[in-house]
Amino acid sequence: MGSILFAVFALAAQLDRDYVRGKTLEGQQAAARGNHGGRPKVIDEDDVLFARALRGEGTSMPDIVKKLTTKTGKNAGRHPSIASLYRALADKDA
């Protein structure tokens, strides 16, 4: 009885391993095509240009954030955080 149970668990583990390996290979192929996963950007290219222009005029960061809205995700329609704005501006500078 114990050997049958062991064989069933071994089969389940092998099926799980094959599934994970297949998904890993799919992810590697997608990355090779240029599709990298992750969360979508909160602030898009146009908003970064707009924020940079306002920053050049001397507008404070909290005031810039109040003029921007998030277009995607669960916070769509809300203002992004100041940290997100700093991060987006730093990514563009790099």
25 pLDDT band (50/70/90 cuts)? very high
pLDDT reported for residue 19? 98
Domain boundaries, the chain: 1-38, 45-93
- Contacts (Cβ under 8 Å, ≥6 apart) of 86: 61
To the nearest whole number, what is the mean pLDDT of the chain?
91
pLDDT reported for residue 39? 78
Q: What is the mean pLDDT of residues 61-77?
A: 89
Cβ–Cβ < 8 Å for 43, 88: yes
Cβ–Cβ < 8 Å for 88, 48: yes
Cβ–Cβ < 8 Å for 46, 52: no
Cβ–Cβ < 8 Å for 89, 51: yes
What pTM, to 2 d.p., does this model score?
Answer: 0.59
pLDDT reported for residue 74? 84
Task: Answer whether residue 68 shows pLDDT above 90.
Answer: yes
